[in-house]
Amino acid sequence: MFKGSTRGLVVAAAFTLLATITPASLRADTPATMPAPTIAPPSIPNKTFSIADYGAVGDGTTLNTDAITKALTACSQAGGGTVLVPAGKFLTGPFTLVSNLDLKIDQGATLIFSDDNTLYPVAPDPTNPSSEGNGQFYKDFISGDHLHDLAITGAGTIDGQGAKWWKAFAPFKNDMHNPAAPPHRPLLINIKYCQRIDIEGVTLTNSPMMHLATLACQDVLISGITIIAPPKSPNTDGLDPSGSNYLIKNCNISTGDDNIALKPVKGAIDGHPACENFLITDCTFGRGHGMSVGGQTSGGLNNVTVQNCTFQGTDAGIRMKAPRGSGGLVQNLTYNNLTMDGVKHAISISSVYPIPKVIDFGTTRPADDKTPIWKDIQISNVTATDSSYAGEIIGLPEMPITGITFTNVKIAAKHSLRVQNANQIKFVNSEIDVEDPPAVAIIDATVEGIDPLAGK
């Protein structure tokens, strides 16, 4: 066992060790719990339209797309209200949401999406280029575009029956430009450019791809939802949000990809970054790739707090990723009061994505507006036990990662925390305990608060 108070070891000649004891200037109070932001709630009239009244049959075999669409149309024509999915198993194809709507999946209700791909129209999406499907996209299961005052609530389940879609995708996973590759898989829920959204209580499961994407949306509450998919189901992210003014709380997510992935992919919106003002709190992360940012960040991100969350058996805990050519400015992130157990990579922040076993940065390139920039990150009161890797902080020669402070962070892992091409990395009252030394491997980086002579 190799242990030090974030003990470091020189593993490359080009590095600078700034301090061997914590300076008084770094002994600041750790962040307090951030209060919940004020989210403008949706305004939905007190009217109810049960899909059963429009011919829906909850026997698990009758196709109810037309009945659901009729209920949504009636709701819209009446100025809005609740479209109720009552107890039962309702098979359906794709449908489109409307404004001033609460789609309520009642307790005992399951909305089941058919895995018959002929029910889903295929079309190109010029706003969303993708290597998957050669630019062709199946229609998403539940979609909404430029809507306002929208809710999806209830104690029921929305099931995407993804197994057939995953199987069709598998042969082309590494060859998506093959002309025989199927179109881009549908998302379970895809909401774009909407305002005042409330998603509460529902269970989402087995999406063919991402479960819940909210692109460039504003004033969003996501509370108390459960998202479940098998650990090897491809690209089944739990939440993929972007926009501004989000509160995500009390969610339980286990998937085959990112549990939550903030997606600052699109360009700035009205002068603001693609992701801004997020609080993610009191969530439980199971299987999956963790609390992520990226893998593309070209739209920019500012002001995100993740607090009071637990990670159990997750592939990564804190994860940020973007490669050259798909990066942007990501700044002002706070992670506080997190507990991790059996997480493979406790901390993973990288401008090389995907991370190969051996990193070759190639020739140094000039920085441009697509270079990943990570700066001003506070990580406090984090405990990680039984990790495979303490993790990695990997910047670029032309753009080092700058300004990460670890305060009261305790990581127990088999392998090192690798810090490469990074400046102003500070440790305060923190410990990294590894079986395979060094605890912190420093390559072309500047680090404070590390005592290279401490420990055994």
* Amino acid code (one letter) for 328: G
CB 146 within 8 A of CB 193: yes
Q: Give dist(CA 146, CA 12) in Å, integer.
A: 52
Picking from 160, 172, 69, the residue whose alpha carbon sits closest to that of residue 117 is: 160
Amino acid found at 134: N
H or E element at residue 239:
strand 239-249
- With b for 16 or more beta-carbon neighbours within 10 A and e for fewer, the 131-155 pattern comes to ebbbbebbbbbbbbeebbbbbbbbe
Q: Which of 201, 172, 206 shows the shortest CA–CA distance to 188? A: 206
- CA–CA gap between residue 447 and residue 15 (Å, rounded): 9
* List 140, 237, 257, 258, catalytic entry: 257
* Cβ atoms of 350 and 374 closer than 8 Å: no
Question: Using CA atoms, how far apart are residues 322 and 352, in angstroms rounded to an integer?
Answer: 6
Helix (H) or strand (E) holding 169: helix 163-169
Sign of the torsion formed by the C-alpha atoms of 341, 393, 352 and 360: negative
- Whether 257 is catalytic: yes
Which of 372, 189, 170 has the alpha carbon at shortest distance from 265?
372
SS3 per residue for 368-399 = CCCCCEEEEEEEEEEEEEEEEEEEEEECECCE
Q: How many residues does the chain have?
A: 456
Q: What residues are annotated to the active site?
A: 257
